A and B are shown apart, each in its own frame.
Chain A
């Protein structure tokens, strides 16, 4: 058994209003080990982001435990946690005067002293991260001059600069075209393989995820499943994904088709 980076037990996530549970989803027990490339799939509103928020700590789980490197996630000091887990979120960032380089450099701050001065090594990591997402040419542009797709790549670079063993990404490819999507997927997969980083990301690109991911956490209306993509296909759970909608799953090709 490899090192477990992230574990969950009897986890239930969702929202409450007062004392009533308005909506909740049970997550199967997750053992996620080092170097795994894990996709989180599901329709809009199925609970992907809610689950990620629980991992990030901005939302409390309704039930169950999450352990980060075998220590309950609530016991982690925020500063220490930032050295182990980094994230790309879906929320829009405020309009600032930051340049691309400065924004990516923010990712290094968890590794600096109270005043936040960057060392030579920090600056090197920033350049590396920008090179990886092929945005080094834009380093001195202001962030507000970027397109949505470019911004998304810069946000991924910031996350990579933070250089943590665990990386969470909430829909990191939603604004990218197919070519750039594939290059981001390849990059993340490569990081998982070569640098032993554990990568969890949610996405709507089902086809790509099934081809790239080691494991998939699938949110369907009938329940949540966690397995390797090929096992999930043979179990036939993808048919549950879009119930009564206009899309059907073809197990032989691993592709989603329109119902005729």
Chain B
């Protein structure tokens, strides 16, 4: 299976490479090469990183909370990141503009998402019921929306515009420096997730069984939550909140590979996440026109019906 996944991964990147060539279009001129190098390539790498990272963070959350509907967006983690960025962009009126760079935005988003994650963890300790968890995530989303609304009401037009643009999500405007930073953080998050594959498999039988089979709960919990926060937080900071990728990718992987084995699902999620996001980005470009749609809108338009379709098809989702 792993071999198959790696094979697919190879072929997909190759076809996409070809696709890019065709997409860039007709005669390859020097300016086109520049566009390819400075614009298209960082963007496609970003798409791969974001898709893979969000897919894995969704997988981690679904197994950790034993909840098939968990994901960074649904559980309000993206909202937490939004709040962090909103506070930074619109709340820091007194601070100089110099504070607003990729790093501070990333730290604010990561802090925001980590905070929500802790909150959700607290709730999940009090109430085992998975539905409660989703409702809390939903409530947090509304709460954040309200706070952001209040901030927006009082903030300057410039700050508001900056935040609105960020919240629509965008894979453009990624400098090579930003791509490298994102690649490093996503890589760290993925390595942390990969180190917990055995424990995640054991978690398929629930927490108590996992402990009876030798899972050190505290370490496992810390690594999984930290990894999720790093992945969802840093990705949201760079490209804005992106809906449904984290939720739908693990289900697509399960559907495709018909397994709950995390070693297979890990590569499945990386692969499918990357493909799905590149696809969404392609649609967002509206090939053949100068138009560009916000990526978050595209993932929602594709993702929401996809989740409904998955639910209808499987009757009950598995983890």
- A interface residue numbers (CB < 8 A to B): 56-58, 78-83, 85-87, 89, 91-98, 102-103, 106-107, 109-110, 112, 114-116, 144, 162
B213 at the interface (CB under 8 A from A): yes
The answer to whether A78 and B214 touch (CB under 8 A), given A95-B318, A116-B198, is: yes
24 residue pairs bridging A and B, Cβ less than 8 Å apart: A56-B208, A56-B212, A57-B211, A78-B215, A78-B217, A79-B216, A82-B213, A83-B214, A94-B66, A94-B318, A96-B204, A97-B258, A97-B318, A98-B204, A98-B260, A103-B205, A106-B204, A106-B205, A106-B213, A110-B213, A114-B195, A114-B198, A115-B197, A162-B213
Q: Are B318 and A144 in contact (CB under 8 A)?
A: yes
Q: Are B198 and A109 in contact (CB under 8 A)?
A: yes
Residues from chain A with a CB closer than 8 A to the CB of B317 are 95
Residues from chain A with a CB closer than 8 A to the CB of B215 are 78
- B interface residue numbers (CB < 8 A to A): 66, 68, 195, 197-198, 201-202, 204-206, 208-209, 211-217, 254, 258-261, 263, 316-319
Q: Is the interface of A mostly helix, strand, loop or mixed?
A: loop
Residues from chain A with a CB closer than 8 A to the CB of B214 are 78-83, 109-110
> B216's contact among A78, A94, A106, by CB below 8 Å, is which?
A78
Least CB distance, A96 to chain B, in whole angstroms: 4
Docked CA distance A92–B205 (Å): 8
Least CB distance, A107 to chain B, in whole angstroms: 7
Kindly report which residue of chain B lies nearest to residue A53, judged by CB atoms: B208
Residues from chain A with a CB closer than 8 A to the CB of B261 are 102
Docked CA distance A219–B68 (Å): 39
Residues from chain B with a CB closer than 8 A to the CB of A103 are 205
Residues from chain B with a CB closer than 8 A to the CB of A89 are 208-209, 212
Q: Are A94 and B208 in contact (CB under 8 A)?
A: no
The answer to whether A115 and B198 touch (CB under 8 A), given A95-B316, A95-B319, is: yes
